[in-house]
Amino acid sequence: MTAVEQPASAAAEASGLLIDVRGLTVDFATGGEDVRAVDDLSFRLSAGQALGIVGESGSGKSTVAAALLGLHRGTGARLTGTVTVGGIDVGAASVRELRRLRGATAAMVFQDPLSSLDPYLAVGDQIAEVYRTHAPHVSRRAARERAVAVLDRVGIPHAARRSRSRPHEFSGGMRQRALIGMALVCEPRVLVADEPTTALDVTVQAQILDLLHELRAETGMGLVLVSHDLGVVAGSVDQMLVMKDGRAVERGTVGTVLREPREPYTRGLLAAVPRVETRRAPAAAAAPVSDGDVLLEAVAVRRKFGRGKNRTVAVDGVSLNVARGETLGIVGESGSGKTTLGRMLVRLLEPSGGSVRYRGRELTGLHRGLQMVFQDPVSSLNPRRGIGESVADPLRAAGTLTDAEIRRRASEALERVGLDPGWYHRYPHEFSGGQRQRVGIARALVPEPGLIVCDEPVSALDVTTQAQVLDLLAELQRDLGLALVLISHDLAVVRRASDRVAVMRRGTIVEEGPADTVYDAPQNPYTKALLAAVPVLDPAEAAARRAARGNRPVLRP
C-alpha cells in the first residue's frame, strides 16, 4: 500500500476484479436528437490483465474510456447501466469519491499530451501537483522527488534536470512518457490509455508500448488500451473487444480474434491494415527514372534554424529527384527532417543552401505545379469558411478566372475526391477526419499540379479510412499522371504506396533505393531498427520482437 489512499470494496479486492461494466449505454443530445454512442456494452477486467478496445472512428471507443473515469459527469451525456472501477460505482459516486478514484485507483493517458499538459508549468511540477492532490500530507519536496523518480522510471533522460522543462521543450515521445508518468505517480491499479501512440513514430511507439508492458508486469495493474491500430493492440493486450456503432461485435483472446475473426467487420479491419511486407501493386509502379523523366530535383539542399549556440541544421545536404508519375516515399523518425525537406521542395520554406529545380528550372518561389497536402486538415482549413471556398483559394490567388469558373473548378475537384459538390458551403467541423483530408487533397488538385507533397496524410486516421485515402491518391496518380512525395513515419503505409524510398536520419538520407530493395534487404542499421519496430499482427511475434528490443540499444533520430 502506498501513501495514497485508494478506495476499493472488499469484494473487488478479494476477487481481483478491477473493472465491471454492465449494460453501459451512452446517449448524447445533438441538434435536438439523441445520438447513441455506446449501446448496451458489458465487459470485465481483472488485476494484471490488458484489454484492447478497437474500432473505427465513431465506434464509441473513447466514449467508453471516458465513462470508466466518470468524465461524462456534467457534460449532458446520459448514461445507463453500471460502471464499477475498483469497487466504486462510478455513476453513483460523489464528486469527492470521483476525485479520489481518478489518479489513485484509475488513471488515464490521453491521445494528445500537448493539450493535456499545462504549457506554463514545468512538467515535474505538474506531476508533483497530481501526487499531492491524492497525498496532501506529503511535503512539496517529497512530491518533487517523487515526480523526478517517476520521470526516470518512464525513461526520461536526466530526469532531475528535465523535470524543470516545460512541455514544449519535450519531443512528442517524451511528452507522452511524461503523461504516462503523471498517470502512474499514484500507482493506480487501472491505466486507461486512449490512442497513446497514434502520432508517434515507430521506434518511440515501440518504446511506449514496451514501457506499458513492463509496468504491467511489475505492478500487476490492469490496462485498457483504446486504439484503431490493430498492430499496436496485437502486441500489448490479452483480450480484445471490437466495437462498431457503439456495440461490441466481437470479443475474445487477442490471438483468437486476430487469427480467426468471426465477424465480417473484424475481417474488414484486418484486411485494411497496411503491412510492411506488402509490395506496391505492379500495375501502379512507375518505370525506372531516366534523366528525361525527372520532374523535380533537389541538389544539396540545407536548412538551418536559429543562430549561434541555438542553431539547428534540420536538413543537411540532401539530394534527390522525383520522376513524372512516380511516388517517392520519405520515412524517418520525428526530428529527422522529413517535413522540413517536404516544405522546401514546394518552397514553403526557403533553403539555406542548395537548389530545387522543377521541370529543369530553378525555383525562386512558390509554383502552382507544386502543391502540398498537410498532416492536420483541421489546422490547414479555415473553420469560418465553407470547404469549397478553401478549395478555391489557389484559383482565386491566380486571378485569371471568373467567380463562376472558380466555383465550377472547385466543385469538380470536390467531386473527383469523392465529396458531394453540394457540400460546398459546409464548414470543416461538419466532416469526419477522412473527409477533411479529402478536402485538403482537392485543394492541392485545383491548380492542376505536376507533383504533390503529402505530409503524413493518413497518420491520424483509422485503418479503413487510411486505405480509402491511399487508394484515392493512387487513383488520382493513375488518372492525372501526378508525381507524389509521400512523407510518413509509418513504414507500412510508405511501402504500400511508393516506388522508391528515402530513409532520413538527423537531416540526411542514410539509405535510398527501390522500395522492395530497401524493405527486403536494408543496408543501414537505422533502417533495420525502424523495420524491427513496426507493429505486427501476430502476438507471438510481437512478444519476440519486444524481447529482442530489450537487448539492443535504441537508435535516436
One domain, residues 54 and 122: yes
Whether 31 and 215 have beta carbons less than 8 Å apart is answered as no
For 37, the 3-state DSSP assignment is strand
Which residues, listed in sequence order, are joined to residue 36 by a DSSP beta bridge? Answer: 27
In a domain, 283, yes or no: no
| Lookup: cell for 546 | 519486444
State residue 550's pLDDT score: 65
Does residue 388 belong to any structural domain of this protein?
Answer: yes
Indicate whether 254 and 235 sit together in one domain.
yes
Q: What is the residue range of 362's domain?
A: 294-369+450-522
Say if CB 505 and CB 332 are below 8 A apart.
yes
Domain stop point among 448, 466, 490? 448
The answer to the question of residue 553 being in a domain is no
In a domain, residue 528? The reply is no
Report the domain count for the chain.
3
Rg (CA), the chain: 25
3-state secondary structure 431-468: CCHHHHHHHHHHHHHCCCCCEEEEECCCCCCCHHHHHH
SS3 at position 351: coil
Q: What are phi and psi of 406, to 5 degrees?
A: -60, -45
Residues 438 and 455 in one domain: no
Same domain, yes or no, for 182 and 257? yes
Is residue 160 domain-shared with residue 249, that is, in the same domain?
Answer: yes
Whether 499 is covered by a domain: the verdict is: yes
Residue 223 belongs to a domain: yes
439 & 463 share domain: no
Q: Do residues 214 and 312 share a domain?
A: no
Q: What pLDDT is attached to residue 281?
A: 64
- What are the strands, taking DSSP E only, across 465-532? 483-488, 500-505, 508-514
> How far is 241 from 435, CA to CA, in rounded Å?
26
For residues 387 and 302, membership in a common domain is answered with: no
User: What's the one-letter identity of residue 15?
Assistant: S
Q: Decide which of 448, 470, 505 is a domain's last residue.
A: 448
Grid coordinates in use for 295? 520532374
Same domain, yes or no, for 154 and 101? yes
Q: Are residues 157 and 67 in the same domain?
A: yes
User: Does some domain include residue 281?
Assistant: no
In tens digits, the chain (557 residues) has pLDDT values of 344 544 444 444 445 899 999 999 999 877 667 889 999 999 999 988 999 999 888 889 989 999 999 999 888 889 999 999 999 999 999 988 998 888 889 999 887 777 789 999 999 999 999 999 888 899 999 999 999 998 988 878 889 998 999 988 887 778 888 888 898 888 889 999 988 877 677 777 787 788 888 888 888 889 999 988 888 888 889 999 999 999 999 999 999 999 999 999 999 988 888 888 877 765 444 445 555 589 999 999 999 988 877 788 889 999 999 999 999 999 988 778 898 999 999 999 999 999 999 999 999 888 999 999 987 777 788 889 999 999 999 998 877 889 999 999 999 999 999 899 999 999 988 887 788 889 999 999 999 999 999 998 887 788 888 888 889 999 999 999 999 999 988 888 899 899 999 999 989 999 999 999 999 999 999 999 888 888 888 888 878 877 777 644 333 33
pLDDT value of position 362: 92
- Model-level pTM? 0.78
- Residue 483 shares a structural domain with residue 354: yes
The answer to whether the CB of 180 falls within 8 A of the CB of 188 is no
User: Do 151 and 263 fall into the same domain?
Assistant: yes
Indicate which CATH number applies to the domain containing 249.
3.40.50.300
Task: Look up residue 254 and give its amino acid.
Answer: V
Within a domain: 147: yes
